[in-house]
Amino acid sequence: MNVKRMRTRHHRSSGSNGASRQLNGQIPMNRNHVFDSHGPDVRVRGTAQQLFEKYLQLGRDATGSGDRVAAEAYFQHAEHYFRILNAMAQAAQQSQQERAERQAARQQRVAVNSSEEEEEDQTEMESDNAGEVKDLSTEPQPELSEG
Protein backbone atom coordinates (compact mmCIF):
# COMPACT_ATOMS: atom_id res chain seq x y z
CA MET A 1 0.00 0.00 0.00
CA ASN A 2 1.39 3.39 -0.99
CA VAL A 3 1.34 5.88 1.89
CA LYS A 4 1.46 8.89 -0.41
CA ARG A 5 -1.87 7.96 -1.97
CA MET A 6 -3.50 7.91 1.46
CA ARG A 7 -2.55 11.49 2.22
CA THR A 8 -5.20 14.11 1.85
CA ARG A 9 -4.71 17.38 0.06
CA HIS A 10 -4.06 19.31 3.29
CA HIS A 11 -1.82 16.74 4.97
CA ARG A 12 1.31 18.04 6.63
CA SER A 13 4.05 15.58 7.33
CA SER A 14 5.43 15.46 10.85
CA GLY A 15 8.72 17.04 9.80
CA SER A 16 7.43 20.01 7.86
CA ASN A 17 6.29 23.36 9.13
CA GLY A 18 7.21 22.91 12.79
CA ALA A 19 6.22 26.49 13.52
CA SER A 20 2.54 25.80 12.85
CA ARG A 21 2.55 22.94 15.36
CA GLN A 22 3.99 25.16 18.06
CA LEU A 23 1.48 27.96 17.51
CA ASN A 24 -1.61 25.79 18.01
CA GLY A 25 -3.76 28.13 15.97
CA GLN A 26 -2.64 31.29 17.73
CA ILE A 27 -1.42 34.31 15.84
CA PRO A 28 2.32 34.82 16.26
CA MET A 29 2.77 38.07 18.10
CA ASN A 30 6.15 38.90 16.59
CA ARG A 31 5.76 41.59 13.95
CA ASN A 32 8.79 40.21 12.11
CA HIS A 33 7.21 36.78 11.67
CA VAL A 34 7.42 35.63 8.05
CA PHE A 35 4.27 34.19 6.51
CA ASP A 36 3.94 31.97 3.45
CA SER A 37 0.79 33.09 1.68
CA HIS A 38 -0.91 31.25 -1.14
CA GLY A 39 -3.11 33.82 -2.82
CA PRO A 40 -5.53 33.34 -5.70
CA ASP A 41 -2.90 33.36 -8.47
CA VAL A 42 0.30 34.00 -6.59
CA ARG A 43 2.43 32.70 -3.76
CA VAL A 44 3.85 35.48 -1.58
CA ARG A 45 6.24 35.37 1.35
CA GLY A 46 6.84 38.16 3.86
CA THR A 47 5.74 39.82 7.08
CA ALA A 48 2.08 40.59 7.70
CA GLN A 49 2.70 44.24 6.79
CA GLN A 50 4.43 43.31 3.54
CA LEU A 51 1.69 40.84 2.57
CA PHE A 52 -1.03 43.36 3.39
CA GLU A 53 0.60 45.96 1.14
CA LYS A 54 1.30 43.41 -1.63
CA TYR A 55 -2.30 42.14 -1.74
CA LEU A 56 -3.64 45.70 -1.69
CA GLN A 57 -1.45 46.53 -4.69
CA LEU A 58 -2.48 43.33 -6.49
CA GLY A 59 -6.13 44.20 -5.80
CA ARG A 60 -5.67 47.72 -7.19
CA ASP A 61 -3.93 46.31 -10.26
CA ALA A 62 -6.73 43.80 -10.83
CA THR A 63 -9.33 46.55 -10.41
CA GLY A 64 -7.47 48.67 -12.95
CA SER A 65 -7.42 45.82 -15.45
CA GLY A 66 -11.16 45.23 -14.97
CA ASP A 67 -10.95 41.85 -13.19
CA ARG A 68 -13.39 42.42 -10.33
CA VAL A 69 -13.34 38.80 -9.12
CA ALA A 70 -9.55 38.67 -8.77
CA ALA A 71 -9.57 42.14 -7.19
CA GLU A 72 -12.07 41.00 -4.56
CA ALA A 73 -9.98 37.91 -3.81
CA TYR A 74 -6.84 40.02 -3.38
CA PHE A 75 -8.66 42.52 -1.17
CA GLN A 76 -9.93 39.68 1.01
CA HIS A 77 -6.38 38.42 1.42
CA ALA A 78 -5.26 41.97 2.27
CA GLU A 79 -8.03 42.21 4.87
CA HIS A 80 -6.87 38.95 6.44
CA TYR A 81 -3.34 40.28 6.94
CA PHE A 82 -4.75 43.63 8.12
CA ARG A 83 -6.60 41.74 10.87
CA ILE A 84 -3.39 39.92 11.79
CA LEU A 85 -1.60 43.28 12.05
CA ASN A 86 -4.34 44.60 14.33
CA ALA A 87 -4.20 41.49 16.51
CA MET A 88 -0.42 41.84 16.83
CA ALA A 89 -0.70 45.52 17.74
CA GLN A 90 -3.40 44.79 20.31
CA ALA A 91 -1.34 41.98 21.85
CA ALA A 92 1.75 44.21 21.98
CA GLN A 93 -0.25 46.96 23.68
CA GLN A 94 -1.71 44.48 26.17
CA SER A 95 1.69 43.00 27.01
CA GLN A 96 3.14 46.50 27.44
CA GLN A 97 0.29 47.38 29.79
CA GLU A 98 0.80 44.16 31.78
CA ARG A 99 4.53 44.89 32.00
CA ALA A 100 3.81 48.39 33.31
CA GLU A 101 1.36 47.01 35.89
CA ARG A 102 3.90 44.41 37.05
CA GLN A 103 6.58 47.09 37.35
CA ALA A 104 4.26 49.38 39.33
CA ALA A 105 3.31 46.51 41.65
CA ARG A 106 7.00 45.64 42.11
CA GLN A 107 7.85 49.26 42.96
CA GLN A 108 4.94 49.42 45.39
CA ARG A 109 6.12 46.22 47.11
CA VAL A 110 9.63 47.65 47.42
CA ALA A 111 8.26 50.88 48.90
CA VAL A 112 6.05 48.98 51.37
CA ASN A 113 8.90 46.68 52.38
CA SER A 114 11.31 49.57 52.95
CA SER A 115 8.73 51.50 55.02
CA GLU A 116 8.02 48.36 57.07
CA GLU A 117 11.75 47.92 57.68
CA GLU A 118 12.03 51.54 58.83
CA GLU A 119 9.08 51.05 61.19
CA GLU A 120 10.64 47.86 62.56
CA ASP A 121 13.97 49.61 63.09
CA GLN A 122 12.24 52.52 64.84
CA THR A 123 10.21 50.11 67.01
CA GLU A 124 13.34 48.15 67.92
CA MET A 125 15.16 51.34 68.92
CA GLU A 126 12.24 52.51 71.03
CA SER A 127 11.89 49.14 72.73
CA ASP A 128 15.63 49.00 73.39
CA ASN A 129 15.55 52.45 74.98
CA ALA A 130 12.32 51.88 76.94
CA GLY A 131 13.23 48.56 78.49
CA GLU A 132 16.79 49.48 79.29
CA VAL A 133 17.77 50.55 82.79
CA LYS A 134 21.01 52.43 82.72
CA ASP A 135 23.68 51.54 85.17
CA LEU A 136 24.76 54.97 86.35
CA SER A 137 27.83 53.66 88.16
CA THR A 138 29.64 53.39 84.87
CA GLU A 139 28.67 56.91 83.84
CA PRO A 140 30.88 59.89 84.78
CA GLN A 141 29.92 61.10 88.22
CA PRO A 142 29.73 64.72 89.32
CA GLU A 143 32.40 65.81 91.71
CA LEU A 144 31.17 66.95 95.09
CA SER A 145 33.11 69.63 96.85
CA GLU A 146 32.85 70.05 100.61
CA GLY A 147 33.42 73.37 101.74
Note the pLDDT tens digit of each residue in 95-133.
899 999 999 999 988 888 877 777 777 766 666 665 566
pLDDT in tens, 16-54: 444 444 455 565 567 888 998 988 888 999 999 999 999
Q: Is residue 52 part of a domain?
A: yes
Q: Is residue 87 part of a domain?
A: yes
3-state helix, strand, coil in the chain (%, to 5): 65, 5, 30
Overall pTM surpassing 0.95 (yes/no): no
pLDDT in tens, 64-91: 999 999 999 999 999 999 999 999 999 9
CB 47 within 8 A of CB 33: yes
Q: Is residue 23 part of a domain?
A: no
pLDDT at 129: 60
Q: Is residue 8 part of a domain?
A: no
Range of the domain at 99: 34-113
Phi, psi of 64 (to 5 degrees): -65, -35
Q: Is residue 78 part of a domain?
A: yes
In the chain, the number of structural domains is 1
Q: Is residue 81 part of a domain?
A: yes
